Amino acid sequence: YEIKTSDRHEAVKEIQSFDLDENIRDNILTPSEHIRFDYFQDVAYGELAIFASKSRPPIKYIGIIWYENILILIHDVEDTLFEDFHASISKILETNTKPEIIHLVYLLVNEILSDYGKLILTYRDEIEEIAKDFDKNFHDIDPDEFLESKSHISDFARVLEKIHFALSFPPAKNILDRESPHKVYFQELLRNVSLVEISLSKTEERLNSLHDHYNLLLQDKSNKRLNFLTIIQAIFVPATLIAGI
């Protein structure tokens, strides 16, 4: 059951027929990373942070509720990552008419992480494109682009931290039994989050090193100008002194 809306009040109205706990309805209105997956009476609910790279604010949340045999997803109308998720569900339904809800949540998070992996590779390609002939063309680069990219990656890193936080206290702890066969799903997701975090960290390091090199080139350019002015001053100061005398 999918609810696409930018207004969480509309989402609360739409799920009234499910007779959910008041705590769930209140939390849906103010989603945050502090709302971890947990049980509210017989209903499991949590909020999962996602990175909206082309919008502001860049950090949004997907509300995930499983109520009996129904998976309810609440997300922004502009989110497009669910297309691959729908395809995955269709494949499962071809072989299994009653997939377990916990498996669908696993698939959803995996699709999100897969998209993030592709996004990081795109960032790396863009950075390496800037790095080509950097020493020759650095004067054409807008320094604000570095700051914007750093801010972008910082927001991205925060989202991954929030996802890691949510999955570290997941259904694996509060919803799944210790002997549950589905616990391995969340262990795998945590490993995948860690891999994406490492990849993003390396991308951030590459961007920082490029920015530091840019600053060095600017400083070198300024030093050359100062040297030139010093030479000019050395030539004209004696003439000025003689004229003064």
CA 214 from centre of chain: 26
Reading the block at residue 4, the tokens are: 């696409």
Q: How many CA atoms lie within 13 A of 67 on its CB side?
A: 15
User: Is it the case that residue 172 has pLDDT exceeding 50?
Assistant: no
Tens of pLDDT, residue by residue over 191-207, are: 899 999 999 999 999 98
Tens of pLDDT, residue by residue over 220-235, are: 778 888 888 888 888 8
Per-residue confidence (pLDDT) for residue 194, from 0 to 100: 92
Helices then strands, each counted (H, E), the chain: 8, 5
Dist. CA 46–CA 24, nearest whole Å: 9
Q: Give residues with Cβ within 8 angstroms of 193, minimum separation 6.
A: 113, 160, 163, 164, 167
DSSP-derived 3-state class of residue 2 = strand
Tens of pLDDT, residue by residue over 27-43, are: 888 887 666 677 777 78
Burial of 76 per CB tally in 10 Å (0-12, 13-18, 19+)? middle
In the predicted model, what is the mean pLDDT of residues 139-144?
A: 77
* Phi, psi of 169, rounded to the nearest 5 degrees: -125, 60
Tens of pLDDT, residue by residue over 37-67, are: 777 777 888 888 888 877 778 888 888 888 8
